[in-house]
């Protein structure tokens, strides 16, 4: 890959896609291809085929998809499956047909069995049933990952690289408490509690489950390393995590501190905890030479600042 390579980033306005765009821009890549959702509906096979015919990308980063927190997953499981399956099917088929040199597909740590040895190695995939509350999403992502492996196997090439990031955060995240993930939803809840002077914030569960979070800039950095490096000897899929996890209680305290919320944290233990731990074993990617570099607290601070800036842009009073 060189600076004039044609690189298509699907989902460039999203959390991960926008980070990949920033990384490509700062890496001096001048031929980055994007299309907004409005201009290109990726579930439309014919439109995707035409787009690839017209733009002829050499590299593809597939960061488009339907994602969300537990409530969204439970409310719209059919939409989650439909959208993700169709996007993956269409983009992979078009990329294969166009002879794309490398494609990165973002799968998800939700694909791992609910009861999984920790940290979770890639070899544990398909060894058990994923968490039921996000099953439709998990199955759609397993299908996308497996489709990459199937293309690689059938055509004797290793062009399609399925990557499994753990929970991502950063600018352009979804901060809606109903549809967002835990970290961004907590930023918003603490911010609002601070703004209204609420004496306490009650959170679901015991606060004991442990989770791994990775800044989208680290995901983008790994993505570029994989696009640029020699990946011929790597075994796919590839977990992508920081190797460090936090309890939800530690996460909540860290966010409260970054936001400047001084009230009490209360835990509603009548609500479910979810899986006790979700930490990825990222040794394959570490052996490739990649390392995360975003400091967690610094990443939280810049994400909160982005949230404040985006609210100010929308004219919302803090």
Ligand X SMILES: NC(=O)c1ccc[n+]([C@@H]2O[C@H](COP(=O)([O-])OP(=O)(O)OC[C@H]3O[C@@H](n4cnc5c(N)ncnc54)[C@H](OP(=O)(O)O)[C@@H]3O)[C@@H](O)[C@H]2O)c1
* Site for ligand X, rule CB under 6 A: 11, 13-17, 37, 41-43, 63-67, 83, 87, 106, 108, 141, 165, 167-168, 181
Give the residue among 145, 133, 134 at the shortest CA–CA distance from 88. 145
Select 143 or 254, whichever has its Cβ closest to ligand X: 143
SS3 assignment, position 262: coil
**In the complex, least distance from residue 294 CB atom to ligand X, rounded to whole angstroms:** 14
Residue 88, CA atoms < 13 Å, CB-side half-sphere = 29
Active-site annotation holder among 59, 112, 137, 307: 137
**In the complex, least distance from residue 269 CB atom to ligand X, rounded to whole angstroms:** 26
Select 80 or 261, whichever has its Cβ closest to ligand X: 80
Select 16 or 187, whichever has its Cβ closest to ligand X: 16
Quick one: tokens of 140?
């759609």
Per the CB < 8 A criterion, the answer to whether 215 and 301 are in contact is: no
59 is catalytic: no
Quick one: tokens of 61?
């980063």
Instruction: Report d(CA 61, CA 227) in Å as an integer.
Output: 9
Instruction: Report d(CA 13, CA 181) in Å as an integer.
Output: 17
**In the complex, least distance from residue 280 CB atom to ligand X, rounded to whole angstroms:** 10
Q: Give strand pairing partners of 80.
A: none
**In the complex, least distance from residue 62 CB atom to ligand X, rounded to whole angstroms:** 7
Give the residue among 302, 232, 280 at the shortest CA–CA distance from 110. 280
C-alpha to C-alpha distances, 94 to 56, 229, 284, nearest whole angstrom: 10, 23, 28
**In the complex, least distance from residue 140 CB atom to ligand X, rounded to whole angstroms:** 8
Q: Give ∠ CA 192-193-194 in degrees, rounded to 5.
A: 90
**In the complex, least distance from residue 198 CB atom to ligand X, rounded to whole angstroms:** 27
Peptide bond into 239 cis (omega under 30): no
SS3 assignment, position 269: coil
Residue nearest to ligand X (CB): 14
Select 100 or 145, whichever has its Cβ closest to ligand X: 145
Select 19 or 193, whichever has its Cβ closest to ligand X: 19
Per the CB < 8 A criterion, the answer to whether 210 and 247 are in contact is: yes
Select 64 or 125, whichever has its Cβ closest to ligand X: 64
C-alpha to C-alpha distances, 254 to 84, 186, 218, 274, 298, nearest whole angstrom: 33, 10, 20, 21, 11
Residues with a catalytic annotation lie at: 137
């Amino acid at each position: 890959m060189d600076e004039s390579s044609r690189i298509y980033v699907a989902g460039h306005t999203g959390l991960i896609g926008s980070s990949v765009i920033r990384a490509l821009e700062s890496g001096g890549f001048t031929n980055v291809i994007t299309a907004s959702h409005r201009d290109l509906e990726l579930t439309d096979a014919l439109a995707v085929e035409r787009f690839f015919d017209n733009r002829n990308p050499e590299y593809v980063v597939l960061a488009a998809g339907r994602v969300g927190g537990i409530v969204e997953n439970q409310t719209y499981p059919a939409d989650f499956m439909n959208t993700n399956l169709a996007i993956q099917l269409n983009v992979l088929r078009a990329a294969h047909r166009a002879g794309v040199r490398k494609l990165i597909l973002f799968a998800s740590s939700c694909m791992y069995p609910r009861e999984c040895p920790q940290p979770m190695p890639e070899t544990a995939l398909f060894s058990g049933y994923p968490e039921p509350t996000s099953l439709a999403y998990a199955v759609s992502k397993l299908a996308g990952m497996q489709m990459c492996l199937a293309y690689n196997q059938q055509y004797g090439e290793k062009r399609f690289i399925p990557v499994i990031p753990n929970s991502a955060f950063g600018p352009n995240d979804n901060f809606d408490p109903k549809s967002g993930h835990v970290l961004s939803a907590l930023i918003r809840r603490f911010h609002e509690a601070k703004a209204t002077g609420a004496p306490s914030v009650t959170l679901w569960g015991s606060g004991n489950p442990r989770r791994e979070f990775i800044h989208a800039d680290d995901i983008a950095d790994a993505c570029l390393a994989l696009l640029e490096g020699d990946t011929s000897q790597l075994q796919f899929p590839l977990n992508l995590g920081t190797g460090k996890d936090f309890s939800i209680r530690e996460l909540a305290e860290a966010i409260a501190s970054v936001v400047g919320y001084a009230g009490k944290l209360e835990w509603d233990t009548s609500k479910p905890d979810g899986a006790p731990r979700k930490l990825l074993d990222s040794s394959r990617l570490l052996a490739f030479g990649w390392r995360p570099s975003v400091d967690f607290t610094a990443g939280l601070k810049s994400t909160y600042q982005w949230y404040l800036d985006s609210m100010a842009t929308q004219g919302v009073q803090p």
